[in-house]
Structures are given as C-alpha cells and as structure tokens.
Amino acid sequence: MRHYELMLLVHPDYSEQVSDLVDEYRKLIMESGGKVHRFEDWGRRPLAYRIERAQKGHYLLFNIECDQSTLSTFKEKLDLSEFVLRYLVVRTEKAETEPTPYLIALSSKRQERSGASDRRGVERGDQPAGDEPEEETPSLEPEPVEEEV
C-alpha cells in the first residue's frame, strides 16, 4: 500500500456537515484495509479567488495509506460530491503523523488570543469571580471649571 496526502476544500455552506463527510471518508478507507495516519481540520479560510461563488472554504487534510483501487474509488466519490470544491492528492514516501507547521502556528495563535482576551478583561476593570474590586485611584486630570455668564 502507498501513502498519500489529501487536501480537501469543502464549500463553506456545508461546514456543518464536515464531521459527517470525514466519518464517511474514513469509513471508506478503513473498509478497504487502509489507514488514516493523520487528519487535520483547518477550518474556514479565505480563498485566493472565488470558486463556485464561494469566497471562503473549509480545509481538511488527510494522510492516508491505501491501495490504488481504494484511491480511485475515493477520487470518484470526491468528483461527484457537491460538498467538495477542490481536492489534491499527493503521493508521499512515508506516513506523516506529526502535526503540520500550519496547525502548530494556528494553535499557538489561538492560545495567544485567549491570553490576550484575559489580559484585556483585567485592563478594562473586569474582576475575576471572588476578588474584591480595587480602590479607585484619583484622576490626575484637573476638573473642568464652569464659568457663569
């Protein structure tokens, strides 16, 4: 059996059904004796250009091991699917199981965002549950003076 990397671009209107698609494709590969070594859901991303009037697409990455007949069946299924905008199959030398650099960068960005939102909440004056509010510091700006006419 050979190793393949498969990138799918799913229409954004069908993003809710991605988990069903993934289960269906995994089942197809497993039933024929193949293996899914790695699966990554990269989520909805903007496209470089419109494809079938879509400006975004849902990206899925598979690293699979299967025989040629299974791959042909898989490609036929992808060609007939109304969910899939584009796909690309590349033969690889070995099974890739490590996360891709893109996924690592994406997860670190998400962690930074969650940390930044926590810091922003403290800067705004939001208090964590159970903490006493700090005393208000006096303002250094002079108070406006009203003139009587």
Instruction: Please give the residue that has the higher pLDDT: either 76 or 15.
Output: 76
Q: How far is residue 25's CA from residue 72's CA, in Å, rounded to a whole number? A: 13
Q: How far is residue 79's CA from residue 60's CA, in Å, rounded to a whole number? A: 16
Residue 148 resides in a domain: no
CA 87 to chain centre: 17
Query: 74-113 burial string, b = 16+ CB within 10 Å, else e?
Result: beeebeebebbbebeeeeeeeeeeeeeeeeeebeeeeeee
Report whether pLDDT(140) > 60: no
| Residue 52, domain extent | 2-101
CA distances from 122 to 64, 108, 114, 117, 139 (A): 46, 22, 13, 9, 19
Domain count, the chain: 1
The model scores a pTM over 0.85: no
Residue 21 resides in a domain: yes
Q: What is the pLDDT of residues 78-128, one digit of tens each?
A: 999 899 999 999 999 988 888 888 888 888 887 888 776 555 555 555 555
Q: How far is residue 21's CA from residue 58's CA, in Å, rounded to a whole number? A: 12
Residue 141 resides in a domain: no
